Amino acid sequence: MIYGQWALTFNLLTVGLLAFIVANIFVSSVFWFIKRKLKDYTVSTRKSLLWLFVLTPWFIAINVTIFFSPLFQNGSVFNWLTDLAHWHHPDIFYFMSWHNFSLLIFIAFSLYVSMKKMLELYKNHYQLKLLRSLGTKKNKQVTIIESAIPTAFTGGLFKPTCFVSTALTEQMNTDELEIIIQHELAHVHYSDPMKKWLFSFFSAYFINNIKRSFISMMSLSMEQDADSFFVENQQQSHNIASTLIKFTRLAANYAIHPQSKNELFVHFYRDSLEKRVLHLLHDKQFKPFPIGGVLIALLLLTIISTTSVDSLHHVIETLFTH
Amino acid sequence: MQLGELEKQVLEYLWKTQPSDAKQVYGYFEKNRGGSLNTIQSTLERLFKKSLLVRVKNGHAYQYSPKIERQELIGQLIKNVTNDFVTEDENSVIAAFSSISSDLDEQQLDKLELMIELQRQKLQNNNQ
């Protein structure tokens, strides 16, 4: 058992963790109910909403922790709310308590996720450098790799590079190749490998089904965004769609790893081909960013998380002692 | 892992020739590039430590040869860099890719192609 400032710090971390869990459940439920409707929004809105989903538990946890800190709990302005949301014995912390065990589990999980992601990054960086060394630079951002595998991808977190294989340069015509390279350059422009990696890190805190849906939707949105990055007219959309089909036929013959996924790489042909082709062909009117809905949901979530921390605390303590 | 210019050249040389010792490699680069035997020896040593070369002792000298062929190495790297992070539970993209290789068969690809063609014709008619 400890007292004083350190006890307060550990208690605040426990508060943050409880708020994180509440927000995570809330976000997961909301996402599960509205996920089919997300396709009605523009690609950029969809991407923003997905980022909002994965980051919200962290924002809420930080806000609730600040609210429970002496900074707010001692102020008279929030008296009405501190009656609802407060933490008993904030300056006493028991090491042999559910508070401490939950914190330890969370820290261990975070360390596991961080190390796993860093290891992926290191291996990826190492192999990319070798691939760059063996390839021929076409220009600053595009490297041609001599290989019979038809492939094009963008990799590298800080200095992304587009890799295009010679099999592709030989089997696609100049226009098609230009489309593929432009698509990959769009990923470089958006820093997609870095964003994909970060997104997969934050998604790791959700249950598997939700995590898969998040990653799948973000991946598809990034591809669709890159598909339409250089599109200026409908004819270009048709050409990109045709190139996608041709590339898919070529790639299907060389399915080197049919069950693959990778957050650090962005493939031209991967992700739901049909959705991408339809997105390019259809001139659908998309909904704007649902700012009202988002603000209401965030407000509701902040209130629920803040007020439920104390109740949750009591519920847990009916089952466990400190 | 990055390859220096000389490392790359030595590796390319060994891909094209039979297993060679440091003197043979030096013999080739002395004519084409210059440099010393020591430089070649340390380059071979570095490539060996990077697991790109294998070596067998032949008398007093080591005979170096590439661990795998050029195409094979590049193929492996492509496979690894696009597959390193596969985890069984994260198959969000698997579904999409599988749909290309299995569910999305030739007929479906033809159907999508036809759809693109119809859109093209529609656009042409509208422009006329």
The answer to whether residues A53 and A298 touch, using CB atoms and an 8 Å cutoff, is: no
Q: How confident is the model at residue B90 (pLDDT cuts 50, 70, 90)?
A: very low
The separation between CA A103 and the C-alpha centre of its own chain, rounded to angstroms, equals 23
Give the residue with greater pLDDT, A70 vs B74: B74
Q: Assess whether A159 and A294 both reside in one domain.
A: no
Gap from B70 CA to chain A (nearest CA, Å): 9
Q: Which domain holds residue A238?
A: 116-287
Report the pLDDT value the prediction gives residue A84, as an integer from 0 to 100: 60
* A131 closest CB neighbour out of B81, B85, B98: B81
CA distances in angstroms from B44 to B11, B34, B50, B68, B85, listed in the order given:
9, 16, 10, 15, 31
Least CA distance to B114: which residue of chain A? A242
Residues 268-297, chain A: which have Cβ within 8 Å of B?
A: 269-274, 277, 281
pLDDT of residue A318: 66
A283 and A294 in a single domain? The answer is no
Question: Which has more confidence, B17 or A263?
Answer: B17
Is pLDDT of A260 > 80?
no
* Residue pLDDT, tens place only, B22-65: 998 998 888 777 778 899 999 999 999 988 899 998 888 899 99
Question: Does A67 lie in the same domain as A194?
Answer: no
Asked if B118 is an interface residue toward chain A (Cβ–Cβ < 8 A), one would say no
Q: How far apart are CA B82 and CA B79, in angstroms?
A: 5
Question: What tens digit of pLDDT does each residue of A156-207 get?
Answer: 888 888 999 998 899 999 999 999 999 999 999 999 888 988 999 999 999 9
The pLDDT assigned to A142 comes to: 93
- Do A151 and A207 lie in one domain? The reply is yes
User: ipTM score of the complex?
Assistant: 0.74
The residue-averaged pLDDT of B80-106 equals: 45
Residue A48 sits in the same domain as residue A156 = no
pLDDT at A262 over 50: no
pLDDT band for position B1 (cuts 50, 70, 90): low
Whether the predicted pLDDT of A47 surpasses 80: yes
- Per-residue confidence at B86, pLDDT binned at 50, 70, 90? very low
Interface of A with B in 196-235 (CB under 8 A): 200, 208, 211-216, 219-220, 234-235
Same-domain check for residues A143 and A237: yes
Q: Do residues A26 and A5 share a domain?
A: yes
Give a yes or no: residue A227 inside a domain.
Answer: yes
pLDDT at residue A270 above 60? no
Q: Where are the domains of chain B?
A: 5-66, 91-127
> Is pLDDT larger for residue B100 or for residue A52?
A52
SS3 B54: strand
Q: Are residues A170 and A301 in the same domain?
A: no
Q: Is residue A110 part of a domain?
A: no
Q: A40-54, A284-298, B73-87: which has the highest mean pLDDT?
A: A40-54
Residue A128: pLDDT over 60:
yes
Top pLDDT among B106 and A271 is at B106
Question: How many domains does chain A contain in total?
Answer: 2
Given an 8 Å threshold on Cβ–Cβ distance, is B81 in contact with A124? yes
Distances (CA, A) of A175 to A32, A61, A106, A169, A239: 41, 50, 51, 11, 9
Q: Are residues A141 and A257 in the same domain?
A: yes
* Closest by Cβ to B96, choosing from A155, A255, A272: A272
Q: Is residue A161 part of a domain?
A: yes
Q: Give contacts of A254 with chain B, Cβ < 8 Å.
A: none
Let me know if residue A101 belongs to a domain.
no
Q: What percent of chain B has pLDDT over 90?
A: 13
Pick the CATH number of B5-66 from 3.90.79.10, 3.40.50.720, 2.30.30.360, 1.10.10.10: 1.10.10.10
Judge if A197 and A265 occupy the same domain: yes
Q: Mutating which of A120, A127, A145, A192 best tests the B interface, going by the most B Cβ atoms within 10 A? A: A127
- Report the mean per-residue pLDDT for chain A: 82
**A102 lies in some domain:** no
Residue B36: the pLDDT is 87
Q: Is residue A105 part of a domain?
A: no
pLDDT mean over A48-52: 94
Question: Would you place residue A71 in the very low, low, confident or very high pLDDT band (cuts 50, 70, 90)?
Answer: low
Residues 115-144 of A with CB under 8 A from B: 120, 123-124, 126-134
pLDDT digits (tens, 9 = 90+) for B23-34: 989 988 887 777
Same domain, A166 and A134: yes
- Which chain A positions have a beta carbon within 8 Å of B98's beta carbon? 258-259
Which residues in chain B have Cβ-Cβ distances shorter than 8 Å to A155?
A: 81
Q: How far is A309 from chain B (nearest CA, A)?
A: 31
